[in-house]
Amino acid sequence: MPELPEVEVVRAGLDPAVTGATVLGVTVLDERALTRYSGSAAQFEAALTGRVVRSAARRGKFLWMPLQPGPDDAPAADALVAHLGMSGQLLLRTPGTAAERHERVRLDIQHPEHGEFTVVFADQRTFGSLTLDTLVPTPDAAPGGLGSPDATVPSQVAHIARDPLDPAFRDLEFRTTLARKKSAIKRVLLDQSVLSGVGNIYADEALWHSRIHPGTPASALSTRAVNRLLADVRGVLERALAEGGTSFDAQYVNVNGQAGYFAHSLNAYGRTGEPCPRCGRPIVRVSFMNRSSHYCAHCQPFDKRRDRSRPVS
């Protein structure tokens, strides 16, 4: 699944095109793209048409576009919410362009300065979705996510924790949570109720940088190790953002259809049998939570009794 960098690349590309834009029309080509929406395709189209988009916002892997209030007789909806799933794409196209391969939904919009655009939601595996949702207050009264100044978040995203790049993310709260968790540290990093946006790729990469074995109990990590790990999580995410995210195929692309190239900078994930960039020993892969973990057994030793991680040299 796309992780924080891939979704943020899409959000940043959409934002200037959709902020202040009016939805001229909506075409649902495949209702499977509306699995999280309780109404019909016709209701979805009617509820969005004529609405003005306020911005493009993101928390973790979730993306939403807050909407200005509609007419009094319009169906209630505060935001258009997108989840990219395994292969979802949000693409910007010029009006009248031919349908994209695997296109599911098309929004025609009019921006007051930049003119007309078409926003295409394409999804090969149909695990992604679009929906309309109400916005609810954030418990900490901080902005709901990057790209929106409002202290609100879609109700379907409210259970998702803040991500490590969010200015309102609380490091102390994260350290306190880890101290209570006996689960493997990688399992905790993937728990979107603890911190969001980190998936299999960036968890493996951050743990490699911190020299922490993915199976180490979270509660066994020292405060120093947790601080180092959080810094490495942020560093990996920021580097991936700078390189447009990680694309192993043509599925994870920006709004212009261009793939990211962080895959060339990976040190552990997907490098089974290749030499560790740090010590030269082979990267190993083990089964973990119906997926895989990649790490260096030499640089990331396992000791459930105490933290044996070391700072990166």
Going by pLDDT thresholds of 50, 70 and 90, the confidence category of residue 119 is very high
Contact between 264 and 22 (Cβ < 8 Å): no
Task: Retrieve residue 207's tokens.
Answer: 């743990």
CA–CA distance, 1 with 127 (Å, rounded to integer):
10
H-run or E-run covering 5: helix 4-18
Catalytic site includes residue 36? no
**Cα gap 66→135, rounded to integer Å:** 8
> Is 3 assigned a catalytic role?
yes
Q: What per-residue string of b and e applies to 257-288 under the rule 16 or more CB within 10 Å gives b?
A: eebbebbeebbbbbbeeeebebeeeebbbeeb
C-alpha–C-alpha distance, residues 120 and 118, integer Å: 6
Give me the numbers of helices (H) and strands (E) for the chain, helices first please.
Answer: 6, 12
pTM of the model: 0.88
Q: Is residue 47 within 8 Å of residue 57, measured between CB atoms?
A: no
Amino acid letter for position 175: R
Residue 32 DSSP one-character state: G
- What pLDDT does residue 135 have? 95
pLDDT at 248 exceeding the cut of 50: no
For the packed helices 200-210 and 223-242, what is the interaxial angle rounded to 10 degrees? 130
> Tokens 């207050």 appear where?
137
What confidence tens digit (pLDDT) does each residue in 13-70 have? 999 999 999 999 999 999 999 999 999 999 999 999 999 999 999 999 899 999 998 7
Residue 208: name the closest of 263, 279, 262, 267 by CA.
267
* Between 305 and 28, residue with greater pLDDT: 28
Does residue 104 have an active-site annotation? no
pLDDT in tens, 126-183: 889 999 999 999 999 999 999 999 999 999 999 999 999 999 999 999 999 999 999 9
Q: One of 11, 51, 54, 61 is an active-site residue; which one?
A: 61
State residue 75's pLDDT score: 54
> Is the per-residue pLDDT at 74 higher than 70?
no
**pLDDT-derived band at 243, boundaries 50, 70, 90:** confident
Looking at residue 229, its pLDDT comes to 98
Cα gap 140→303, rounded to integer Å: 37
Extract the tokens encoding 167: 């200015």
Please tell me whether residue 89 adopts helix, strand or coil conformation. Answer: strand
Indicate the annotated binding residues for DNA.
102, 125, 181
Catalytic residue among 182, 281, 291, 306: 291
Contact call for residues 53 and 26 (beta carbons, < 8 A):
no
Contact 46, 17 (CB under 8 A): no
Question: Does the pLDDT of residue 304 top 80, yes or no?
Answer: no
- Decide if 61 is catalytic: yes
Distances (CA, A) of 11 to 2, 216, 244: 13, 34, 12
Binding residues: 102, 125, 181
Q: Which of 232, 220, 231 is nearest to 183 (CA)?
A: 220
Q: Which domains does the chain have, with CATH numbers?
A: 4-154 (3.20.190.10), 171-296 (1.10.8.50)
Residue 206 corresponds to which amino acid? A
